[in-house]
Chain A
């Protein structure tokens, strides 16, 4: 099983790989030199012209990347202004007679965070074919990380507790259960956990945690953000038991987690349990809205016509949940889960 992952390159990035190249998660695919803080380069004074008249002497256009010593302005009679460093030319101020440039900072690596084979390289992106399984979530936070998967709870409905995070989890991607508190997330970050996969999380706790991540970045503290992937929903929402079993079967596999785009690649893995909309009687189903969010069970039958409840009038079905509860649930709130073969 393979999927194509696209690594978008920012403007000015220089690819270092070619098609057919095999890449590892930590491999540098491209480099870039980001622009730094703007700096004024006197032009009019150096050319002994008025600020307005010197505008015509500028020989580059905004957006041009200039190398150290490259010509910025010339009066055509031998007076010239050259840039002292590699920089990005942003514009000329016709009032004070100076050019605004942003010096290019040191080279920064661009990592793909995935293992695979490069299938396409362009100035905009590098495409990599990944051999493994892709799991998409409904939300996430943080950047891209990779590490070994480790299931850190006993059951899909269990909450990931701070106590489950110790030195053995450093650098790993943990699979939690139905929720992780802000305290757990903070501890995971402090212990150097690479990422966490959860069924759900309280939006407020996730936002509070993101705020602390942002603050840490702003004050220039430690790097190494924690990436989080939510698979089922917001609030306390358990993982699909079949999916949880699949994670358990792949404990120890290397995985790449992309928090912002809410996706996870697990290498050398069998396909994860598939989902489809519009379940049919006999299907294993997962419920997505309160009061049954995160519960799974079997769709026993579909009710004829529309079924009215105080909150909705909709096509509905009778679901026998795994915990023994039987309830009528709108079909729109159910997804059918395909059973794992042999599982």
Chain B
């Protein structure tokens, strides 16, 4: 009688609004390893997912297990995260479009609300039109803002009165984020218990304070979407995983995830403190409605066709989010759209001082090659300084983040090298002039002869091969007026670069990237950068899919 062979497996699944990513983790030769991972449209369902995973596993699994793989996967410990099943919808009503309205809108979007209407008293509409818009609005909550904290603004009360006139009793909470002096007056306009007072995002004309109102809005959003297990929401789980990773590695980490519908960023300090933002319409599907997006994508892509063709593509990304690019033009436009979405998430400026930048979401983590993924991260985020780049290729971070704290740490320690797919290290400079020396870089790789310094000029992008698992000491001399994001104490900066599928990227294209105005020049420059990233990819690197 033969002994029954079994396997210890865990299934990590991240169910997105369009794509589901799943990985099987198994104990192999005493170590937990990621042994299979797939991504497929969420609509294909669980059976198909298990089938695809089993097919992958069959190539390496013990022959005695092959017939039982699907059953083993079905019975495996399932660790799941998912995007909210529906977005919370909010209407913003404020006094001024630029000040209170703009701040309130940003706070709501950053908390993950989908802002379906914005009405301000200076929006140029007639009063009757404002009322008609608000009376027809189908929302879960109302965000009211206006008035500075030291004044009783009559206009702010008018804005509140608009909501009182348009909202049905019991028609969702009213969040008052205006002058503290008016809180009681506003509360009196609505039924008891309907009003929630939040911090004023514009306490005075010169100051915008979003964090506390954002936190309040986030709490209201969670209670609005109650019924979903909060720990399993990717918007909660991914930042938790990033925080745990930062604390464990003592690194400052930014993770960005551009999905079909929403986009998320989570910035964690090295002590594990995380600040995250969800942009409810910040995903690829949201770009179709963004004025000027098609023109910007066409300009950034260079080879994706004219604005009209790109506009059709953006609509396709909205209407059929689980489809994928099939032509180089579509791929280029999709990646340029991802860059625009990333830039939209970081509109207050590029982050500096990052140790690690992680890309997630189908377009980045599922890019056909490492150069594609790296280029989206570099162009969209512009991480000034010396930063490791990686992608969450198997979509493991969010499911891991749904575990209890101690298990997150344990899971990360167990998966170690399989958790992220490293792309390499980027040195991104700011400032300087086009064509003039931006940095002179000497790379010392253990076991290699010391190479000649590499000169990178403003507007250039170069890649130095540095494979996965390799490290190099990098000495950087910056040109006049060029910076790496922090105060320079020495003319030579030393840093440690870690290799990956791409290598060491020396990027002196500035922040933001300046593109030539002439179409032909722009296309030539974009092509040269694309070629620089692809050309230097060391042979035999792992494919990212």
Contact = CB atoms under 8 A, between A and B. Distances in A.
Contact of A313 (B131, B320, B368): B368
Contacts of A11: 135, 166-168
A35 B131 contact: yes
Contact of B320 (A37, A288, A306, A308): A288
A234 B326 contact: no
> Top 6 closest A-B pairs, CB basis?
A62-B161, A91-B161, A63-B164, A138-B319, A234-B315, A313-B545
A289 B329 CA distance: 12
Interface string A266-300: 00000000000110000000001111110000000
Interface residues of A, number: 55
Interface string B148-168: 000000100110111011111
B38 to A, nearest CB: 8
A36 interface: yes
Contacts of B132: 10, 34-35
B308 A333 contact: no
B323 interface: yes
A291 B309 CA distance: 12
Contact of A10 (B136, B288, B319, B545): B136
Interface stretch (B40-48, B232-240, B245-253, B384-392): B40-48
Interface string A90-101: 110111000010
Given A10-B135, A234-B319, A314 B324 contact: yes
A63 B135 CA distance: 11
8 contacts: A8-B138, A90-B162, A203-B315, A204-B307, A204-B311, A207-B311, A289-B325, A315-B40
Contacts of A312: 324-326, 331, 368
Contacts of A330: 323-324, 326
Interface of A: 8, 10-12, 34-38, 61-63, 88-91, 93-95, 100, 102, 105, 123-124, 138-139, 202-204, 207, 233-235, 277-278, 288-293, 305-306, 308-315, 329-330, 332-333
A61 B136 contact: no
Interface string B22-50: 00000000000000000011011100100
Contacts of A204: 307-308, 311-312
A119 to B, nearest CB: 20
Nearest to A316: B326
B273 to A, nearest CB: 37
Contact of A63 (B161, B309, B319): B161
Given A11-B167, A289-B325, A312-B324, A34 B128 contact: yes
A62 B316 CA distance: 44
A329 to B, nearest CB: 7
A138 B318 CA distance: 9
B386 to A, nearest CB: 30
